[in-house]
Amino acid sequence: MKIYESAVRKPISTVLIFLMVMILGIFSLSNLAIDMYPEMDMPTISVITTYEGANAADIETNVTRVLEDNLNTVDNLKDITSKSSDNFRSFRSNSNGVPTSMWRPTTSGMLSTG
């Protein structure tokens, strides 16, 4: 009963200890390393984009060809399939076990928004 009595007699201390534990928990959670996720080989990647006000020819020129040109540099790709229509583009690529780390550097930053 000693803990309960001191918590009731000193509510400010109790609140401060509670806040300190909460802040420490949030800080620890944000710095927690994620080592348990396995490296996965994704056989397929799909990208769907929308381009408001653009027709199929604009999307083909400005989006689809840029993606295809950049993704053709990735090794072990089996095929690349894309479909461009008004305001919409769908893209799918199948591979022979390309690691997920290979997709990020190749596709990041190749399209500029502006």
Structure confidence by residue, pLDDT tens digits, 93-107: 776 655 555 544 344
CA distances in angstroms from 41 to 46, 66, 96, listed in the order given: 14, 24, 9
* Helices and strands counted in the chain (H then E): 5, 3
Chain centroid, CA 111 distance in Å = 16
Write out pLDDT tens, residues 38-66. Answer: 676 667 777 787 778 888 888 888 888 88
Cβ pair 98, 76 in contact under 8 A: yes
pLDDT of residue 14: 93
Residue 111 has pLDDT above 80, yes or no: no
Cβ pair 89, 95 in contact under 8 A: no
Residue 22 has pLDDT above 90, yes or no: yes
pLDDT of residue 24: 95
Residue 108 has pLDDT above 60, yes or no: no
Chain centroid, CA 109 distance in Å = 14
Per-chain mean pLDDT for the chain? 75
pLDDT of residue 107: 43
pLDDT of residue 20: 97
pTM, two decimals, is 0.42
